[in-house]
């Protein structure tokens, strides 16, 4: 197995997950004793209740408009036979911790394979948000965002813990912007679903999330399951890299807004039958990607060619406050400051500063390479600094970073579809790795 996530230390335990959903592994989160390295507990994403650490009577989920016990065999009953043993649901993202509730939160990734026809059922608990007891790993609640994923909308993006008022009531909330294009706000203590709205209106694979069932209403035209194997389903939005990928959001208590580094692409997706061989890729789909060509605020076609958006979103109401177009995906994390400024980086290599309330661009600086790192700010000797690492890479930059682009149409589907969409990026930036630091003025 492989691992790309950063571990989290909680009390006397260190928590870590695994990656490798495209190799037919079974995802889990593990806790190790920080002094001895001994395994304290391990909770799988998929499998029997004893493996997932789910209590059928105590663990809850959102169903029929209320928080309700998941019941026995909530995972295995949604898989055919023993497919769950190679079912994916990896945990390669981030883990958050609430010390007062003593709960840890994270998301699980895509089911294996990418061909949905080969794995009937909801494939629980892939594509889910989890709340576990930090000491024992016991699952408090779990919520599946994309049942029976058909598009590789990994659910591993970060979970932000914010106390805020939703519909006239204060909640300890968890906020998550998923690759599937929906922003979710849940009560992090109970798992109650409070808000589920698109943060990019070009998203078309589902019309909305039914707030009673918690399930997305899938549009048949864009269902790779319904269209079947060896059929190219065209114009699915977002593309597999999501309306937002691994790049973390920022939050400003001053504005009450979340700032989302986003992608603005659609894709053609053709699933095909694939056999499982241990240690070999277990994907089963061919993808190409293209600009969404629709307005992020309305979803109406506008023939635009931008591949990225930087968006301010109110997670209390599910409304977009403002959104700025970017030529390429915004693959950097952002940082919101008490000075009312939000910083983020672009794939061309610009560090940008925008007004937190309006999105107006205030400053930009061209770094030597594309920015996929997360912007940071700190204070030293009474002076504030902003720093960012530049160096093109990631899924969007894989054509340049891994040399996959031949320049011909035949390589468009390389990099799981990213090479063709980002071909022109090489005209705007180049390989390199540099830390650029800015000193903010004193006044």
Q: What pLDDT is attached to residue 439?
A: 94
Contacts of 291 (CB under 8 A, 6+ apart): 264, 265, 266, 304, 305, 306, 307, 421
Kindly name the residue from 149, 152, 187, 268 that is annotated as catalytic.
152
Q: What pLDDT is attached to residue 252?
A: 98
Rounded distance, CA 80 to CA 238, Å? 28
**Measured torsion, CA atoms of residues 420, 421, 422, 423, in degrees rounded to the nearest 10:** 40
Residue 112 CB burial class (10 angstroms; 0-12, 13-18, ≥19): buried
Q: What pLDDT is attached to residue 407?
A: 85
How far are the Cα atoms of 75, 93, 104, 151, 223 from residue 4, in angstroms, in the given order?
A: 25, 8, 18, 21, 30
Closest CA to 76 of 108, 42, 119, 129: 119
Q: What pLDDT is attached to residue 67?
A: 98
Q: What pLDDT is attached to residue 93?
A: 93
> Can you read off the two tokens belonging to residue 217?
């209403």
What does DSSP assign to residue 243?
S
Q: What pLDDT is attached to residue 310?
A: 98
pLDDT tens, position by position, 70-105? 999 999 999 999 999 999 999 999 999 999 999 999
Name the E strands within 248-382.
250-252, 257-263, 265-271, 285-291, 308-314, 319-326, 335-336, 341-345, 350-355, 361-366, 376-380
Q: What pLDDT is attached to residue 12?
A: 97
What does DSSP assign to residue 401?
H
Q: What pLDDT is attached to residue 406?
A: 86
pLDDT tens, position by position, 162-181? 999 999 999 999 999 999 99
Q: Taking the complete model, does pTM exceed 0.75, yes or no? A: yes
Domain boundaries, the chain: 8-339
- Which CATH number fits the domain 8-339, given the four candidates 3.40.800.20, 1.20.140.10, 2.40.40.20, 2.140.10.10? 2.140.10.10
Give me the residues paired with residue 313 across strands: 258, 320
Regions of the chain short of the pLDDT cut 70: none
Q: Angle at the Cα of 199 (from 60 to 114), degrees rounded to 5? A: 65
Give me the residues paired with residue 376 across strands: 387
The DSSP code sequence of 296-309 is TTT--B------EE
Q: Is 152 a catalytic residue?
A: yes
Q: What pLDDT is attached to residue 394?
A: 86
Question: Do the beta carbons of residue 440 and residue 386 sit within 8 Å?
Answer: yes
Q: What pLDDT is attached to residue 392?
A: 93
> What is the β-pairing status of strands 341-345 and 350-355?
antiparallel
């Amino acid at each position: 197995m492989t691992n790309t996530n950063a571990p989290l230390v909680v009390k006397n335990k260190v928590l870590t997950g695994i990656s490798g959903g495209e190799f037919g592994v079974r995802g889990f989160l593990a806790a190790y004793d920080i002094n001895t390295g001994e395994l304290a507990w391990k909770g799988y994403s998929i499998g029997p209740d004893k493996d997932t650490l789910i209590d059928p009577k105590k663990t809850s989920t959102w169903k029929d408009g209320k928080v309700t016990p998941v019941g026995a065999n909530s995972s295995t009953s949604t898989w055919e036979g023993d497919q769950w043993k190679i079912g994916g649901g990896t945990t390669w993202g981030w883990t958050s911790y609430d010390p007062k509730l003593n709960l840890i939160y994270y998301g699980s990734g895509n089911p294996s394979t990418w061909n949905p026809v080969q794995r009937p059922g909801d494939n629980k608990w892939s594509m889910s948000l989890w709340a576990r007891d930090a000491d024992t790993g016991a699952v408090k609640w779990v919520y599946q965002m994309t049942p029976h994923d058909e598009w590789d909308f990994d659910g591993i993006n970060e979970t932000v813990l914010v106390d805020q008022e939703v519909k006239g009531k204060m909640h300890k909330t968890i906020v998550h912007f998923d690759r599937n294009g929906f922003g979710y706000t849940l009560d992090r203590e109970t798992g109650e679903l409070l808000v589920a709205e698109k943060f990019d209106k070009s998203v078309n694979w589902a019309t909305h999330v039914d707030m009673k069932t918690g399930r997305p209403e899938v549009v048949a035209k864009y269902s790779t399951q319904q269209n079947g194997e060896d059929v190219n389903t065209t114009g699915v939005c977002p593309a597999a890299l999501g309306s937002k990928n691994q790049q973390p959001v920022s939050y400003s208590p001053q504005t009450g807004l979340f700032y989302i580094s986003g992608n603005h692409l659609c894709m053609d997706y053709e699933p095909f039958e694939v056999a499982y061989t241990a240690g070999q890729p277990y994907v089963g789909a061919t993808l190409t990607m293209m600009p969404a060509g629709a307005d992020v605020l309305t979803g109406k076609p506008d023939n635009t060619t931008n591949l990225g958006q930087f968006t301010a979103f109110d997670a209390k109401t599910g409304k977009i406050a403002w959104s700025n177009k970017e030529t390429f995906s915004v693959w950097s994390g952002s940082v919101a400051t008490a000075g009312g400024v939000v910083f983020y980086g672009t794939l061309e290599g610009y560090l940008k500063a925008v007004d937190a309330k309006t999105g107006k661009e205030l400053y930009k600086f061209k770094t030597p390479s594309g920015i996929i790192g997360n912007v940071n700010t700190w204070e030293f000797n009474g002076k504030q600094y902003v720093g960012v690492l530049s160096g093109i890479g990631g899924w969007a930059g894989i054509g340049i970073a891994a040399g996959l682009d031949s320049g011909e149409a035949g390589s468009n589907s390389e990099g799981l579809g990213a090479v063709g969409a980002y071909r022109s990026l090489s005209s705007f930036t180049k390989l390199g790795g540099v830390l650029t630091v800015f000193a903010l003025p004193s006044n």
